[in-house]
Amino acid sequence: IHRARTLRAFGKKLAPGEFATLAGHLLLRAWDRARRIHTAMLCRGFTGHFPEPRPLAWKARDLLFTVLCAAAFAALRFWNLPRILGDLLTGGAA
């Protein structure tokens, strides 16, 4: 709002009455935006309370995922997998 006023004022100073008008417009815009956000939240089922997250627990599938990721990382780090796959697909070493 201030930038738009500055661009249209051609160097004139901001009078106290104009400052009050700008502040009023800013308040009205903020109020309207807050109302629209609140309405959108209600439409999406927000009740005003955040649900409590369930406590996290380490499960077998988490361990399996971690082991598989570590194995994949080790395979990519220690073996030249692109060359091995290329040899398999082309029928041997070049």
Q: What are the pLDDT digits (tens) for 30-69? A: 999 999 999 999 999 988 888 888 899 999 999 999 999 9
Is pTM beyond 0.75? Reply is no
Indicate the pLDDT class of residue 91, thresholds 50, 70 and 90: confident
Instruction: Write the DSSP symbol of residue 92.
Output: S
For residue 4, pLDDT beyond 80: no
What is the spatial distance between Cα 85 and Cα 36, in angstroms, rounded to a whole number? 56
For the record, the structure tokens of 15 come out as 């009078």
Q: Where are the domains of the chain?
A: 2-43, 60-90
Cβ–Cβ under 8 Å, residues 26 and 5? no
**SS3 category, 64:** helix
